[in-house]
Structure formats: structure tokens, C-alpha cells
A and B are shown apart, each in its own frame.
Chain A
Amino acid sequence: MLSALLGNSTPDHHAKELALREANRRHAKPGRGVLVKVLRCDGPGKATRWETFKVTTEKGMNVISALQQIGGNPVTTDGKATTPVVWDSGCLEEVCGACTMVINGKVRQSCSCLLDDYAPSEGDTITLEPMSKFPVIRDLWVDRSRLFHNIKRVKAWVPIDGTYNLGPGPREHPNAQETRYKLSECMSCGCCLEACPQFNLEADASKWDSSFIGAHAISQARLFNMHGTGKELAMERLEALMGPGGVSDCGNAQNCVKVCPKHIPLTESIAAMGRAVTLAGLTKFFRS
């Protein structure tokens, strides 16, 4: 129920989600035992296994602090001594994108996942799995190189003339700035890719350039095509989005926008770039 609500990013649903979380939080008491069930894997190609740990909750505790508590004394509920769980994390305030994982079946950042909100009662279970669209390095840590590679495919940068003192950039209307700022909040976390039916695990890097590029990269292409200087590379970005693995591979499932933790209008970006690619293709066709 909760995950269904979480999946929608409209303000109304956001308010409902907050209300439900608040209700859970009021009900949750510190010091209760919560079960953390983790899908573990010792390394690439190794077998996976489930391990369950019991943590004692503190006020405001999130999944990160639960994993830290487990790390200090990694013993499963069966009494088996094991190794600390491996996971990726950084800022712990949902702005770096590192700690993304699949929690209770839904992709999200683990830092902003509070135990009081999702496991308010004694004995409740929280399930942690690595993202499935990227190769597992160990346990919950996955290799998201492909995500960054795809940003390179669309040349997501402004081609400045170097760091010399050349005066200010282009003036910009606040409306344009607000649109760009929203797109520029993408923290490369990979939620949109995990939720996308068209984006699949591909360990072979030689196939990345012909596989679906992903909503995040399409949105970055839009961001830089909107910038006064960035649009100098607009055609190159559109060419990267044409053909196999490009914007037309999007199946319009619209899962990406529902799971984006920053509420970036990814489907708008896909639609905008889809139109731009079509136009560019037509122009090319009539010129050739």
C-alpha cells in the first residue's frame, strides 16, 4: 500500500505519503526489534543468499544506521556469525545518489528510508536487495559505470572555451532557470533505470552504446540543449539519441518518473527529446 503511494510523485500523493509515514512514526516506539533481511553475494558470479539480522531501533533510525549496527556485530537471527554487509553510501541526505538499493521491492535511497516509517511494529521486516540492472560488486553494492558512460554518450556538458576570464554566461529568464535547475538535480542514482522495463542488465560494455540509454541521459541531453552555449552540441546529442538504444527505445511505461527521488519530469524530457529527434531526423532526410 505504502509503496504504491510512494510511486506517485504528485503533491497530493506526496502529502498522503507524508501523512501515512507520520502515522507510522507516531505508532513506532524506539528500542523495538526490527528484522533486516539482506540479499547477499560475495562477488561477481558468486551465489546469492538471504541473511536476516535483528536490529534494535533508535529514534530517527534509517536503513544506513541499521546496516551500521549490523556491521558492529554481524550475527544473523539464526545465531550464525557472518561478515558485515557491503553497501555503497556517501552523503546520507539523499543528494549524492550513492546508497540506492531495492527496499521492500522498490528502488530508492537507503539513507532517506526511516525504519519508523516502514517497520513501525516489533518484528516488522525490511528487505534489502541490490539494484538488478547493474552488475553486483558485493552484497548491495553495484557497478553503475554504464550510467555514467551513457551521460558521456549525450555529451552532457557545456563546451566552454576554457577557464579563462571571459565574462559571464548567457542571461537567463527565471522560468528557464527553474526548468534547468530541476533537471540538473539528477544525482545519477539509477532509480529510473532500475524501474525501466527497457533498460536491462548488460555486463558487456561493448553493447552499452547500442542498448537503451535510459531516462537520466535523455533528460541530461534536454538540460544541455536548453542552455545558451550548451545547445552548440544539440545536434550531436540528438544523433546520440537516434537509432538503436536511443529515445525511440522508450516503451512509455512511465515508471521512471514515478521512482525519481528528485521528482525530475523525466517523461516530459523523453517526450521533448523524442520530438526533437524526429524533427532532426526529418531535417536530415530532406537535406540528404
Chain B
Amino acid sequence: MGQRVIVVGGGLAGLAASVRVAEAGLAVDLFSLVPVKRSHSVCAQGGINACNEVARQQGYSEYEHFDETIYGGDFLADQHPVLEMANWAPRIIDLLDRMGVPFNRTSEGYRDLRLFGGSLFKRTHFAGATTGQQLLYALDEQTRRYEAEGKVTKYEYWEFLGPVIHDGRAVGIVAQDLRTMQIRSFRADAVVMATGGCGLVYGKSTNSIICTGAAAARCYQAGAWYGNPEMIQVHPTAIPGSDKLRLMSESARGEGGRVWVPALKQPDGTWGKNPRSGSDPKTIPTSERFYFLEEKYPAYGNIVPRDIATREIFEICVAHGMGVGGENQVYLDLTHKPKEYLQKKLEGILDIYSKFVGEDPYTTPMRIFPAVHYSMGGLWTQFAKGNYNPADPRTKHKSGSATPLTSAVGQGLAYGDPINMQTNIQGLYAFGEVNFAYHGANRLGANALLSCLFDGLFCGLSVVNYLKDGAPSKAPAEQLPSSSYDAVVKQQQDRVNALISSVSPNHEAATNPYTIHKELGVEMTAACTVVKSEARLKQCLNKLGELKDRAARLKLGDNAGWTNQTLSYSRAVQDMLSVADAIAQGSIQRKESRGAHYRTDFPTRDDANFMKTTVAKFSPEGAHVTFEPIDALLIKPAARTYGKVDAGASAKPQLAGTAH
């Protein structure tokens, strides 16, 4: 069979990895729960960030992009990987362009740009409001090309059940065909996990139904470490729904959308409730509209980063009861923009709103509320620093001056080093949202697609080199004894047998997988999202203990030996509980507030003790958490205010590059 690489997950990261590895001449086996074209990357809307010529000539650079990402992530990310990601971003855009992504164009035919959160420069490339879909399709097409040439073999509707680890290195996986229910092992010299986030741990989120986090959980339970599990992004603008919370892209604000609630100005200058809050928004006069983000953050306004916008919306609705009509919702208003403009730039997302809400967002302000969206945390990964390490890192770049960073100056990461984005288990890699590497405590909008592609394209070569020079070159997976593989197959088969034999027509709530999942979602949303506290988190851990007991004896509603979705779902529910535990444990032990992690009992950032990576190691009793030092050599931490007007001494609105 020769050397082979397994890629688990067919979203942007997995497809980019498949293309990169296949291009190097290695055989790829690509596993996905769904046909890869239906992966969750399709849901990404707004765009993808990269320095570009227009922004560059206005004073922007790759270094600024790096700086914004670190600042946006509240100084929690290791800095060298982020530096290299920003450095590579422009060539990733060029590559996508060559693949045929229909990026929006200027009248002169160049790629158009839009404004996005956390930046004062236009550096976000986009294809309408379905950028993720268009990028995924481009990679899907290139993967299909390799598939047609026999270099990539797809296993769609196959579920990853666990890695096979032999002598401390990953040498394959065990997976199950979701149609025939066949369980078998697959040998490989390296395994790339590209399985995305874990939104379903929160029940309802902006994530697709496949984003359970179960694949990552299975690696975690097999000994892979989990980094910064508590860093969960709650997106400020989503459409509430009974099955999921649909994303309303940040691009709506980037293209001029304004967030407001009906309110009345008090004699002391503050805003109070408006008794007409629930009436037709078109009848509310301008003087009674409280544009709270614009008032508090004059420089960034509606495009402050997500954690900040989310907390402000929460404060308006939950703390002050000033949500529209007294409910948990605020207006996101685009009605002042011309319809033709909106159709060109945002039609995809505005269609979603009108389809699911039944109101016309071109003429009526949208009603939105925050929702769990993205996991900055994930499988813990390593990296090899490149040669860029100046004693005096440059944080300012003036229009017209030389670019402070190009690959000629040096690299953030050592290109092709086998360690890049490898987990603590040799040969087990984690690419894209499933790793913890780039976004620190908060991800900037339009950086997610970038990190997926960067991992696949840049770190794909690391996988190739690991096969060429690492352990697989001496002991190829195809020559290993079958006992290691058979043991994992048996373990998984036993687990399935136990679940199947639990079948009961009696769907009592205590052991019903749907009920357990629902309760898990409600608990995690209440305890581990926007506002956290030790008391509430302890209560959450108790609840998780109860759910774990119940999940261990859950009862299936279906014992079919063919296409048994209930089996797959119930198994995922059980595994989600270990991720939930890591999130709660990380939340409780990080006694500070940073980025998306906000503790009422520790409301400030504590760099001395917690400018560190949370590392969670699995144990059946609960996660064992330690804090490990980070690489923060390039940018020194500073207050993260985004020019908030009541933020004290540093109140003056400032540009991204000079705010710290």
C-alpha cells in the first residue's frame, strides 16, 4: 500500500491538507461524516483576512494583521504561528483566486475588500456573503480532481471512532460506515484531525449538526491534550431558532450595519428603557435609538471584536432589560443602505434571515442575539519557530514606509518542520478549528477560514516531511502487527454492542440521549458562555457529573444494524461530555477575565498568572488542568480597550497599530 496519510474531516482544513499532501505524491484517505462538500465550512459567511496592496499602501502590513490577531485574542496565542499565518495570508488569497473562487470585484476587476471586526483597514476578501461556501467548493473541486486521478480516496459517511496508537505514535484510525455500520481499522503513517469545533456541546449554536466535537473528544480520551478549552466564542449576532441559532455575519456590520435598541435619553445623559420598545422599529425616531456600540467605542463602533460586542449586547438585554420589546434581542439595522448595494454584498445572509424569520431585512431592522459560534480552544499542538525573532519587534507601519515583514525578512514558523501542528501524540496532527493555535482568547472575524487553509497548506508539508524523515520512514504502518489495530476495533465494537443492547421502547427522560443532550446544552450555555463565576461553574460540574452517570446507562430508541443514526448520535453525546468537562474545568481554573472568558469574580486580566495556555489532560474522573508558558516574544501585552470611551486613561480612540 505504500505510505499513506489519513485526513479526518472534509472541511476547509481537511481538504487543504488533502490537496497539499496528495500534491507531494502521497496517498490520502479522506474521512468525513458527510459528503465533503457539505462540511461546516460552508456556513462561514463574511470573508477571509489578508494584507493586500490597497491596505498596504494605506499603512497596513502583514505585521499589522499579526498584531491585530494577537490583540484581538487578548495576548493568549503563541505568537510565532500567528505571525506566519498573517505572513502567508496574501499568497493563500492568490491561490484561492487561481482556483477560481468568485471573489467580489472592484470596477477595475481587482478583488474587492470589506471592513471587518478588530481592524480599521479593509483587509477582508469576500465572495458575496457565502465566502466559506465558495472557498470550500474551490477546495472540494481540487480534491475531486485528485480523486479522479486516484490520489485521494474519499470515505464519506464514515465516522471516526478513535486513533490507533502504537509505540506512542498514531498509526491509523478505527472508523464506522454510517450506512452499513461496519467497523474497521485503517492504517496510515500519519493522521490529520481536521474535525472542526464543538458547538453542539452547547445544544443550539451557529454550528452544523455534525459539529459535536466528538472526534476531538476521542483523541483527547486517547491521550491527546486539549488547549484552552474554556475559550469559546459567542458571536454577537445570530438569529434565534428552535433547532439552531443561525449566524448573521459580522459582514453585516462591516458593510455598515448598525446595532441599536429603542431607548430614552435620561436627564443625566444616560439611556433608559423606552415603553415603546416593542413597537414597529420604523416608527422609533432617531432620538430614541440607542446605538450603544457606536457611543461606547467611537473608533471601532459596530465592528468591535466579537467578545466585546457580545458582552455589550448581554449587558443591554440581561443587565438592563433594554432588549427590543423587553426580550433578549437587539436590532441589527441595514435599512439605511441601498438595496442594490446590499444585494451585491450580503444577499446570501439576508436571504437566510427572510427565509427563517419571514421579515424583509432590506426594509425592517433584523432582530438578533448572541450565540455560541466558535471554539478558539482545541487539541493542543506544537510548532517550530522560524528565524524571525527581532530584538526590537516593529509594531507600527506608516503609509509608504517599507513593509516590516516579508518572508525575506524571516519566517514565523520553520516551513516543513514535522512538528508544526502535531499534537503531543507523534504522528497525530490537528488542523483548523480543532486545534487551539491561532486565536488565543478570542478569534477575529474572517481569520477562521485563513487558519484552516494555512494549516492545510503550510503544515501539510510538515506531515509530508514527517513521513519522509520521521518514524514512519523506519517503521511504516503497513508493516506493523495487526494486534494494535484489532484491539481498537474490538474496543469500539464492544462499545457499539453495549449501546445496541440498551435499546428500550421506554423513552424515559433520565436515559434518553436527546434529553441528556438538551440538558447538557442548557447547562453549558448558562454556565460556560458570556458570563462565568466560580459558584455557577461548580454547579455546572455537578450537573455534568449527573449527566455523565445518565449517559453511561442511556437507552437507544433503535437497534437497527443498518444506518443507525441514533447509535452514532448517542455515542457522540457520551463523548461530548468529556469536552464539556474540559471547558468547565478550564473555566473554573482560569481565575481571570481574558477575551471570551469573562469571570464576574475575577473581572480583570491577570498576565502574571494566566498569560498561559490552559492544558487539559483527560482522566475518567475529570480533566487535569495545568497552565503552560506561551511564546510572547514579539508583542508585549497591553490593555485591550479598543478605545472604549469610559475605559479610563487610555480612553482616546486609537488606531489598531498604536493602541498598545
Q: Do A and B come from one complex?
A: yes
- A-side interface residues toward B, CB under 8 Å? 18, 21-22, 25, 42-43, 58-62, 64-65, 68, 71-74, 81, 83-84, 86, 88-98, 111-112, 114, 117, 137-138, 141, 144, 148, 151-152, 155-160, 162-163, 165-169, 171-174, 177-178, 180-181, 184-185, 187-188, 224, 227, 229-230
Contact partner of B566 among A83, A92, A114, A166, CB < 8 A?
Answer: A83
Cβ-closest chain A residue relative to B247: A93
Give the contacts of B130-168 with A (CB-CB under 8 A): 130, 133-134, 137-138, 141-142, 144-145, 147-148
Size bin of chain B's contact surface: 35 or more
- Asked whether A185 lies within 8 Å of B130 as measured between CB atoms, the reply is yes
Given contacts A18-B354, A58-B242, A137-B563, 7 further A-B contacts (CB under 8 A): A71-B566, A74-B507, A91-B38, A157-B141, A163-B19, A163-B23, A181-B134
Cβ-closest chain A residue relative to B103: A177
- Asked whether B557 lies within 8 Å of A22 as measured between CB atoms, the reply is no
Interface centre among A21, A59, A98, A173, by most chain B C-beta atoms within 10 angstroms, is A98
CB distance from A217 to the nearest CB of B (A): 12
Which residues of chain B are within 8 angstroms of A61 by Cβ–Cβ distance?
242-243
CB distance from A81 to the nearest CB of B (A): 4
Q: Does B34 reach chain A (CB closer than 8 Å)?
A: yes
Q: A65-B242, A72-B514, A163-B457 are in contact. Are A94 and B358 (CB under 8 A)?
A: no
A42–B563 Cα distance when bound, in Å, is 9
- Asked whether A71 lies within 8 Å of B105 as measured between CB atoms, the reply is no
A169–B515 Cα distance when bound, in Å, is 50
Give the contacts of B220-252 with A (CB-CB under 8 A): 240-244, 246-247
Q: Does B505 reach chain A (CB closer than 8 Å)?
A: yes
Digitize B429-455: 1 where CB-to-A-CB distance is under 8 Å, 0 elsewhere. 000000000000000000000000000
Q: A42-B560, A169-B97, A187-B42 are in contact. Are A59 and B242 (CB under 8 A)?
A: yes
Which residues of chain B are within 8 angstroms of A43 by Cβ–Cβ distance?
562-563
Which residues of chain A are within 8 angstroms of B93 by Cβ–Cβ distance?
168
Digitize B35-62: 1 where CB-to-A-CB distance is under 8 Å, 0 elsewhere. 1011110110000000000000000000
Q: Does B360 reach chain A (CB closer than 8 Å)?
A: yes
Q: A59-B242, A98-B34, A138-B563 are in contact. Are A72 and B507 (CB under 8 A)?
A: yes
Interface centre among B23, B107, B242, B246, by most chain A C-beta atoms within 10 angstroms, is B242
Interface centre among A144, A165, A184, by most chain B C-beta atoms within 10 angstroms, is A184
Q: A83-B566, A117-B358, A177-B104 are in contact. Are A60 and B38 (CB under 8 A)?
A: no
Q: Does B95 reach chain A (CB closer than 8 Å)?
A: yes
Contact partner of B210 among A42, A58, A90, A171, CB < 8 A?
Answer: A90
Digitize B452-465: 1 where CB-to-A-CB distance is under 8 Å, 0 elsewhere. 00000100000000
- Asked whether A162 lies within 8 Å of B109 as measured between CB atoms, the reply is no
Cβ-closest chain A residue relative to B136: A96
CB distance from B550 to the nearest CB of A (A): 15
Query: Chain A's interface: helix, strand, loop or mixed, by majority?
Result: loop
A92–B239 Cα distance when bound, in Å, is 12
Contact partner of B99 among A71, A91, A114, A169, CB < 8 A?
Answer: A169
25 residue pairs bridging A and B, Cβ less than 8 Å apart = A60-B241, A61-B243, A72-B512, A74-B557, A90-B39, A91-B208, A95-B348, A96-B34, A96-B37, A96-B43, A112-B356, A152-B147, A157-B100, A158-B98, A159-B145, A163-B23, A168-B94, A171-B109, A173-B105, A177-B103, A177-B104, A178-B344, A181-B127, A187-B42, A229-B98
Which residues of chain A are within 8 angstroms of B659 by Cβ–Cβ distance?
none
Digitize B1-20: 1 where CB-to-A-CB distance is under 8 Å, 0 elsewhere. 00000000000000000011
Which residues of chain A are within 8 angstroms of B105 by Cβ–Cβ distance?
172-174, 177
Which residues of chain B are within 8 angstroms of A162 by Cβ–Cβ distance?
23
- Asked whether A95 lies within 8 Å of B560 as measured between CB atoms, the reply is no
Which residues of chain B are within 8 angstroms of A86 by Cβ–Cβ distance?
563, 565
Which residues of chain B are within 8 angstroms of A22 by Cβ–Cβ distance?
358
Closest 7 CB pairs of A and B: A169-B97, A157-B141, A72-B514, A138-B563, A65-B243, A171-B109, A181-B102
Which residues of chain A are within 8 angstroms of B344 by Cβ–Cβ distance?
178
Q: A60-B241, A157-B145 are in contact. Are A138 and B94 (CB under 8 A)?
A: no
Q: A90-B210, A158-B141 are in contact. Are A112 and B355 (CB under 8 A)?
A: yes
Which residues of chain B are within 8 angstroms of A83 by Cβ–Cβ distance?
557-558, 560, 566
Which residues of chain A are within 8 angstroms of B102 by Cβ–Cβ distance?
172, 177, 180-181, 184
Which residues of chain A are within 8 angstroms of B505 by Cβ–Cβ distance?
81
Which residues of chain B are within 8 angstroms of A84 by Cβ–Cβ distance?
557-558, 565-566
A275–B319 Cα distance when bound, in Å, is 64
A77–B4 Cα distance when bound, in Å, is 52
Cβ-closest chain B residue relative to A148: B35
A181–B131 Cα distance when bound, in Å, is 10
Which residues of chain A are within 8 angstroms of B512 by Cβ–Cβ distance?
72-73
Q: Does B341 reach chain A (CB closer than 8 Å)?
A: no
